[in-house]
Amino acid sequence: MSRLVVVSNRVAPIDESKQTAGGLAVAVLAALKKSGGIWFGWSGTVLDTDASPTEPSLHQVGKLTYATQDLCRRDWDEYYNGFANQTLWPLFHYRPGLLSVSRRTMEGYDRVNAIFATGLAPLLRPDDMVWVHDYHLIPFARNLRDKGLGQRMGFFLHTPFPAPELLVVVPNHRDLVRDLCAYDLVGFHTEVDLRCFANYIRYEAGGEVEPLGPGQGMLIRAFGRQLLARAFPISIDTPALESVARTAARSRHAERLRESLVGRRLIIGVDRLDYSKGLPQRFEAFEQLLVSFPEHCNRVSFLQIAPPTREDVPEYVSIRRALSELAGRINGNFAEFDWVPIRYLNKSFGQRVLAGFYRLAHVGLVTPLRDGMNLVAKEYVACQDPEDPGVLVLSEFAGAAHELPEAMIVNPFDSEGVADALQRALTMPLEERRERHAAMLKTLRANSIGHWRESYVDALTRAPYA
């Protein structure tokens, strides 16, 4: 059997007791634990040197070899903070107004992709399968191919893929799509992302698209290559989480949370503090709930866990400031001497603690303005007590909404609509809660993280598609 070599910018901490707040690392770790192989990526360390090292450090953990490389400050700044998170991230999340474009960061992005490819190349065996993840590393395969490497190479995009009309805003859009075509397999979360990619190939790149039937993806012919593009919705380790959640509700943290509520209902949100997650609109929706349905005052608490992320990017500094002000204003207006409506925490928690919190919460509030998938939505469902489940309120613009139509689907820009959905969720009869939850859990059991990994790897095993 071929060895699996996974490449991603973010690698889960080698020390498993450390927390990682980000779906890619959580999901890839769950997927790789079983198969083993190599996980290559950025170490998380930024060096005050003039150049980045070109060789990775190796750490063996069970069947898995971590191969990680440090980056010097300039490379990290131009590649990660710059082109990846100030150009591609806002563009792929439909926020061209937040985009900044510069030749300097584009060059830094290409330079780091070349450095990483140079680091990985000597570790590769001829029959390895290389699976590259996310927008940081689009040019990675082309860099390996330029070195004469012919291994099967696949790419998976964890964010949305934008409509072509939006993608063309970035000056090197053609290079990016040409580089995607250097892979044998390109995976997306949803059929909508896949369609956007196919439309670029058809209408911007002058390539050909051959649909292969429902759920089977499309053959792409462009830039002198033929490859498969297909949707593979990512998931969670459903049975493991179900089992953790059964006991986590009795953990010390969960007990403390339960006691602090003194019988009040709980709404929970868990998100990196990212502008894509729609947190200001969510806070306003909760405020609207208190205005429209004042019977919830002093009866409902909203716990928002929001660990800071990408703190060197100016837009993330602004959103953090704006949210603190908003939470302060809402709490100032509505709080009683014995009740604070929004418990807003800028810190992260481990998966076990979160499982206990989800289990206690009557409503999971997941309202991103755009999100590739959103694993928190799935985790919330898996952690409910099937006999007395909470209600998931879910943005129609999260990839997860395509698989979980039994959630209460909302438009996150419409704060009044979200407030109405919260009211319905808080007053929903037990029978309806059970029915909605059972349908969602069935979906999550059928498409667990193992299924995602296996279906992607199976498709990559069949490459090349030429």
Ligand X SMILES: O=P(O)(O)OC[C@H]1O[C@H](O[C@H]2O[C@H](CO)[C@@H](O)[C@H](O)[C@H]2O)[C@H](O)[C@@H](O)[C@@H]1O
Ligand Y SMILES: O=c1ccn([C@@H]2O[C@H](COP(=O)(O)OP(=O)(O)O)[C@@H](O)[C@H]2O)c(=O)[nH]1
Has 128 been annotated as catalytic? no
* Nearest to ligand X of 29, 205 (CB atom): 29
Identity of the residue, 82 or 341, whose beta carbon is nearer to ligand X in the bound complex: 82
Exactly one of 6, 7, 11, 24 binds ligand X (CB under 6 A); that residue is 24
CB nearer to ligand X: pick between 266 and 319: 319
Given the residues 93, 133, 136, 158, select the one marked as catalytic: 158
Q: Which of 189, 371, 420, 437 is labelled catalytic?
A: 371
- Report the C-alpha gap between 381 and 402 in whole angstroms: 15
- Residue from 172, 374, 395, 415 that binds ligand X (CB under 6 A)? 374
Residue 310 CB, shortest distance to ligand X, in Å, is: 6
Size of the site for ligand Y (CB under 6 A): 19
Would you tell me how many other CB atoms lie within 10 Å of the CB of residue 157?
A: 21
Nearer to ligand Y, 345 or 430 (CB): 345
Do residues 219 and 210 touch, judged by C-beta distance below 8 A? yes
- Out of ligand X, ligand Y, none, which partner does residue 428 contact, by CB within 5 to 8 A per kind? none
What one-character DSSP code corresponds to residue 307?
-
Q: Which of 156, 128, 198 is nearest to 23 (CA)?
A: 156
- Rounded CA-CA distance 73/51 in Å is 8
307 binds, among ligand Y, ligand X, none (CB under 5 to 8 A by kind): ligand Y
The only residue of 4, 6, 12, 23 in contact with ligand X, by rule CB under 6 A: 23
- Residue 6: enclosing H or E segment and its boundaries? strand 4-8
Number of residues that bind ligand X (CB under 6 A): 17
Residue range at the interface with ligand X (CB under 6 A); choices 16-24, 52-60, 177-185, 402-410: 16-24
Q: CA-CA distance, 376 to 274, in Å (whole number)?
A: 14
| 19: contact with ligand Y by CB under 6 A | yes
Beta carbon of residue 13, minimum distance to ligand X (angstroms, whole number)? 12
In the chain the first and final C-alpha atoms are separated, in Å, by: 22
What is the C-alpha separation between 128 and 457, in angstroms, rounded? 12
CA 89 to chain centre: 12
CB of 399 to ligand Y, least distance (A): 9
- Compute the distance between CA of residue 113 and CA of residue 172 in angstroms, rounded to an integer: 15
Establish if 233 lies at the interface with ligand X (CB under 6 A): no
Q: Which stretch binds ligand Y (CB under 6 A): 85-93, 104-112, 210-218, 372-380?
A: 372-380
Q: Contacts by 98-104 with C-beta closer than 8 Å and gap 24+? A: 98/275, 98/315, 99/169, 99/170, 101/170, 101/171, 104/78
The answer to whether residue 308 forms part of the interface with ligand Y (CB under 6 A) is no
CB of 296 to ligand Y, least distance (A): 25
**Between residue 400 and residue 429, which ones bind ligand X under the rule CB under 6 A?**
none
339: β partners: 336
- Is 73 in a helix, a strand, or coil? helix
- The nearer residue to ligand X, 287 or 403, going by C-beta atoms, is 403
Name the binder of 10 from ligand X, ligand Y, none, CB < 5-8 A by kind: ligand X
Query: Under a CB-based contact definition with an 8 Å cutoff, are residues 164 and 152 in contact?
Result: no
Binding part of the chain for ligand Y, among 36-44, 122-130, 246-254, 349-357 by CB under 6 A, reads: 349-357
Nearer to ligand X, 27 or 248 (CB): 27
Binding residues among 169-228 for ligand X as defined by CB under 6 A: none
Looking only at residues 375 through 404 of this chain, which bind ligand Y when binding is defined by CB under 6 A? Answer: 375-376, 379
Distances (CA, A) of 301 to 407, 408, 422: 21, 19, 12
Residues 27-48 as b/e (b if ≥16 CB within 10 A, e otherwise) read: bbbbbbbebebbbbbbbeebee
Residues 6, 88, 132, 234: which binds ligand X (CB under 6 A)? 234
Answer for the pair 197, 188: CB distance below 8 angstroms, yes or no: yes
Separation CA 85–CA 443 (nearest Å): 32
The burial of 311, by beta-carbon neighbours within 10 Å (0-12 exposed, 13-18 middle, 19 or more buried), is given as exposed
- Any catalytic annotation for residue 59? no
Q: Give me the phi and psi of 277, to 5 degrees please.
A: -85, -5
Query: Nearest to residue 4, comparing CAs of 46, 23, 28, 32?
Result: 32
| Alpha-carbon gap, residue 403 to 447, rounded angstroms | 10
User: Is position 373 an interface residue for ligand X (rule: CB under 6 A)?
Assistant: yes
Residues 98-157 that bind ligand X (CB under 6 A): 134
Nearest to ligand X of 25, 180 (CB atom): 25
Instruction: Summarize as ranges the residues that interact with ligand X (CB under 6 A).
Output: 10, 22-25, 27, 134, 158-159, 234, 309-310, 371-375
Instruction: Summarize as ranges the residues that interact with ligand Y (CB under 6 A).
Output: 19, 21-24, 26, 270, 272, 305, 307, 348-349, 351, 354, 373-376, 379
- Residues identified as active-site: 158, 371
